[in-house]
């Protein structure tokens, strides 16, 4: 056959490459420029200092990290359970799969509002606790002096964003040949041993992908926090929004954006290093 | 697992498995039920406590209040326009790349795939902050187009990967057969591959629509007057009355749930998963 240079694939890739340069690579550089350079083009650390010295900065950092370290492990356990159930092919599993996938379509704002309806003073949680006779007065859960706003946000996020982790894990599970599990069974390994010694190690690439995906999503949590907790909590993305939307200061907002970008990249590299399997980084 | 099944203990296990499966299903469904209940309660019930947990009095009063509130319908229209532009742009730009990844072996194949994947390691919506400055210079700030452009950047990597897996799923031989019968490559793609790819592409498009319809951060940053629905809601969230929030939350939810129902068969394929 002819072995001449093929143009077609490059032409087909051109539009998306140009688009990503224009609307991804370029604004990324711009975020750093805005964060470190003032209107007169002078390089400065002024905006970074303003960001760090702001009263809300460390609160936002703290809440963002608390959310990440509580949400991600919970999500993993739940997503693993869901993925194993989907993979177990129960009768009626089509319906279960559909229900488990529902939250994929639910926006963070809607999820936030839903959990606000549950946790608000005259909400459904207080109603249930009242009808069970546990409370006789509504309890104010979303009070910033308690840990409840964090709990509510964690539940909302686990509720909303576990499905995507499940999808990644199901993909991984389906790629594992059944023979491995059957072989372990022949040798008398119990369910838990098989899960721990066979399934989970083979699932490592998927776990890595899911972890990266989830952590990056967690750095941009925004609407859930705003909808559930209002002013009681703040996170990095909410501060970025406030500096642009309310104070009209693109420089400090860009400083937050730059920080979020650096943190995301940092965690990705961290996961790739510690979990050591690259290839197959699909999804 | 399929072949040998000792009866008694296995039956108990199965029962327990179902119980867990059911519990997780309820964990997902109950909050959706509650917001539907809240959105269809009459207004004085929305403020009342304790609330009924069963739909004892259904009313569209709260929903009507939300939909007739100032600016809501306009923002719904903006949301739809943004989502439709995003859907077409990302398919138009992304599907050719997906096809190239699926069908050609070429230098830079791996590099391009890495580029696409690495964009997913960044929270793209955060980039709406520097983009806002650019859009002000371009005179595009506060337009639906600016939001759609950022949403396209957000959806494009997924579109490329999904369309590539759709094209991989269509046997190469059909295309080759068409070409031996005298079609050129473009004709083969348009007449043979595209019709077969249509359901998968439609599912991808619907998913992009939902992605854009749901997006809050970029939309809130990039608009002032021409808000999309989520942007409008998040901006006035803390000042808006409770019935407005509940009805709005439910209204945001509905199209997403309907669309997901429409593409339920493809849901997993969208991530390259074939449910066996």
pLDDT digits (tens, 9 = 90+) for B30-87: 999 999 999 999 888 888 878 888 888 888 888 998 999 889 999 999 999 999 999 9
pLDDT class of A280 with cuts at 50, 70, 90: very low
**Do residues A229 and A54 make contact, with C-beta atoms less than 8 angstroms apart?**
no
Residues of A with Cβ-Cβ distance to B104 under 8 angstroms: 6, 8-9, 12
Alpha carbon distances (Å) from A263 to A61, A65, A223, A257: 11, 11, 20, 10
User: For residue range B233-245, what is the model confidence (pLDDT) as tens digits?
Assistant: 998 888 888 999 9
Residue B4 confidence (pLDDT) above 70 = no
Within 10 angstroms of residue B21's Cβ, the number of other Cβ atoms is: 23
**Do residues A142 and A149 make contact, with C-beta atoms less than 8 angstroms apart?**
yes
Average confidence score pLDDT of chain A: 88
Average pLDDT over residues A66-90: 92
Question: What is the Cα–Cα distance from B79 to B230, expressed in whole angstroms?
Answer: 8
Residues of A with Cβ-Cβ distance to B220 under 8 angstroms: 241, 245
Average pLDDT over residues A241-250: 91
**Please, what are the domains in chain B?**
7-63 (no CATH), 70-230+257-271 (1.10.3720.10)
Average pLDDT over residues B185-203: 89
Residues of A with Cβ-Cβ distance to B216 under 8 angstroms: 107-109, 222-223
A220 and B126: CB-CB below 8 Å? yes
pLDDT at A282: 41
User: For residue range B214-224, what is the model confidence (pLDDT) as tens digits?
Assistant: 999 999 999 99
B20 and A81: CB-CB below 8 Å? yes
Residue with tokens 């991989």: B168
Domain ranges of chain A: 55-275
Among residues B43, B132, B25, B245, the alpha carbon closest in space to that of A96 is found at B25
A6 and B106: CB-CB below 8 Å? yes
Of B120, B130, B256, the CB nearest to A34: B130
pTM: 0.90
Question: What is the Cα–Cα distance from B210 to B61, expressed in whole angstroms?
Answer: 27
Average pLDDT over residues A84-98: 84
Instruction: Give the distance from residue B238's alpha carbon to the nearest chain A alpha carbon, in angstroms.
Output: 7
User: For residue range A125-162, what is the model confidence (pLDDT) as tens digits?
Assistant: 999 998 898 888 888 888 888 889 999 999 999 999 99
Question: What is the Cα–Cα distance from B179 to B159, expressed in whole angstroms?
Answer: 27
* Cβ-Cβ contacts under 8 Å for B118 (sequence gap 6 or more): none
Q: Which CATH architecture has domain A55-275?
A: Orthogonal Bundle (1.10)
Average pLDDT over residues A223-242: 92
Alpha carbon distances (Å) from A10 to A5, A125, A174, B108, B114: 11, 56, 33, 9, 15
A102 and B235: CB-CB below 8 Å? no
pLDDT class of B276 with cuts at 50, 70, 90: low
Instruction: Give the distance from residue B160's alpha carbon to the nearest chain A alpha carbon, in angstroms.
Output: 9
Average confidence score pLDDT of chain B: 88
* Cβ-Cβ contacts under 8 Å for B65 (sequence gap 6 or more): B43, B243, B244, B247
B237 and A230: CB-CB below 8 Å? yes
Within 10 angstroms of residue A10's Cβ, the number of other Cβ atoms is: 16
Q: Structure tokens of A91?
A: 């009768």
A117 and B34: CB-CB below 8 Å? yes
Please list the alpha-helical segments (H only) found in chain B: 7-39, 43-47, 61-67, 72-103, 109-119, 128-138, 144-168, 172-180, 185-188, 194-214, 217-222, 229-235, 242-262
Question: What is the Cα–Cα distance from A102 to A88, expressed in whole angstroms?
Answer: 19
Within 10 angstroms of residue B221's Cβ, the number of other Cβ atoms is: 27
């Amino acid at each position: 056959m002819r072995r001449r240079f093929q143009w077609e694939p490059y032409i087909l890739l051109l539009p998306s490459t140009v688009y990503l340069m224009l609307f991804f690579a370029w604004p990324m550089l711009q975020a750093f420029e805005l964060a470190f350079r003032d209107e007169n083009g002078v390089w400065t650390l002024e905006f970074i200092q303003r960001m760090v010295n702001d009263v809300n900065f460390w609160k936002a950092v703290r809440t963002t990290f608390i959310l990440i370290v509580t949400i991600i492990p919970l999500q993993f356990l739940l997503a693993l359970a869901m993925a194993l159930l989907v993979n177990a092919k129960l009768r009626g599993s089509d319906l279960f799969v559909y229900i488990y996938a529902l939250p994929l379509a639910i926006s963070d704002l809607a999820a936030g509002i839903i959990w606000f309806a549950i946790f608000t003073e005259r909400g459904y949680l207080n109603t249930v606790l009242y009808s069970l006779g546990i409370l006789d007065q509504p309890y104010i859960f979303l009070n910033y002096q308690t840990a409840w706003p964090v709990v509510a946000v964690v539940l909302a996020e686990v509720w909303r964003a576990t499905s995507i982790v499940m999808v990644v894990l199901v993909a991984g599970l389906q790629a594992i040949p059944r023979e491995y599990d059957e072989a372990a069974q022949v040798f008398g390994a119990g369910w838990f041993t098989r899960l721990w010694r066979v399934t989970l190690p083979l699932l490592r690439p998927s776990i890595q992908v899911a972890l990266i995906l989830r952590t990056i999503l967690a750095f941009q949590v925004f609407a859930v926090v705003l909808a559930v907790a209002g002013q009681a909590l703040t996170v990095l993305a909410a501060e970025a929004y406030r500096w642009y939307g309310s104070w009209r200061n693109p420089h400090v907002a860009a400083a937050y954006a730059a920080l979020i970008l650096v943190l995301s990249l940092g965690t990705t590299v961290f996961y790739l290093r510690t979990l050591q399997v690259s290839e197959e980084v699909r999804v | 697992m399929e072949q040998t099944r000792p009866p008694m203990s296995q039956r108990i296990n199965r029962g327990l498995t179902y119980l867990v499966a059911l519990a997780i299903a309820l964990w997902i469904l109950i909050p959706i039920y509650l917001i539907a209940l809240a959105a269809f309660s009459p207004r004085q019930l929305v403020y009342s406590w304790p609330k009924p947990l069963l739909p004892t009095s259904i009313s569209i009063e709260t929903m009507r209040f939300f939909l007739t509130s100032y600016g809501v319908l306009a923002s719904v229209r903006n949301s739809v326009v943004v989502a439709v532009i995003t859907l077409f742009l990302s398919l138009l730009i992304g599907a050719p790349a997906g096809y190239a990844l699926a069908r050609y072996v070429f230098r830079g194949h791996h590099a391009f795939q890495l580029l696409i994947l690495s964009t997913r390691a960044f929270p793209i919506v955060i980039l709406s902050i520097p983009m806002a400055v650019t859009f002000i210079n371009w005179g595009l700030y506060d337009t639906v187009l600016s939001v759609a452009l950022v949403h396209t950047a957000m959806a494009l990597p997924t579109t490329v990967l999904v369309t590539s897996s759709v094209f991989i799923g269509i046997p190469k031989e059909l295309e080759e057969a068409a070409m031996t019968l005298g079609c050129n490559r473009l004709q083969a793609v348009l007449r043979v591959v595209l019709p077969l790819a249509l359901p998968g592409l439609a599912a991808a498009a619907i998913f992009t629509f939902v992605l854009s319809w749901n997006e809050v951060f970029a939309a809130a940053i990039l608009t002032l007057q021409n808000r999309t629905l989520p942007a409008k809601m998040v901006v006035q969230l803390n000042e808006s009355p409770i019935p407005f929030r509940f009805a709005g939350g439910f209204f945001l939810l509905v199209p997403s749930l309907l669309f997901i129902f429409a593409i339920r068969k493809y849901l997993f394929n969208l991530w390259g998963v074939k449910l066996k």
